[in-house]
Structure 1
Amino acid sequence: MAQAKKVALYAVIIFVAYTIIHSPARSADLVQIGFEGISDAAKSIGEFMTQLIN
């Protein structure tokens, strides 16, 4: 099982490296979308917690 996890991890790393090298603009867009999603989620949680306190 541990061997399968290593192989899967290496495959993901190789895929990410290939994607970045092959189309860096698209990769940057995907990273930006991901960070915007995380930011929006954090803002929503903050607003929820603020509403609980008030």
Structure 2
Amino acid sequence: MQAQTKRLLTLLLIVFVIYTIIATPEKASDLVAQWFQAVSSAARWCGDQIRRLTG
């Protein structure tokens, strides 16, 4: 991809995120909470796998 295309897509993504936060803050906070829970679960799973392999 060309630099201008990447820059445009990044800008559009940022604008979309800001619009979502402003338009529906409750939904945006729910999405952030779900994302955090998913990342937390993935990290916990990785830790369990490492613990299982080393212990």
**Alignment TM class, shorter chain as reference:** over 0.9
CA RMSD, 1 decimal:
0.5
Please state how far the C-alpha of 1:34 moved relative to its aligned partner.
0.3
Question: Structure 1: which 4+ aligned runs deviate by more than 3 Å?
Answer: none
Structure 2 match to 1:50? 51
Q: In the alignment, does 2:17 pair up with 1:7?
A: no
Please state how far the C-alpha of 1:28 moved relative to its aligned partner.
0.2
Where does 1:10-29 land on structure 2 (aligned, <5 Å)? 10-29=11-30
Please state how far the C-alpha of 1:42 moved relative to its aligned partner.
0.4
Separation in 2, partners of 1:49, 1:7: 40
Please state how far the C-alpha of 1:20 moved relative to its aligned partner.
0.2
Structure 2 match to 1:33? 34
Percent pairwise identity: 37
Aligned partner of 2:54: which letter? Answer: I
Q: Which runs of 5+ in 1 are unaligned?
A: none
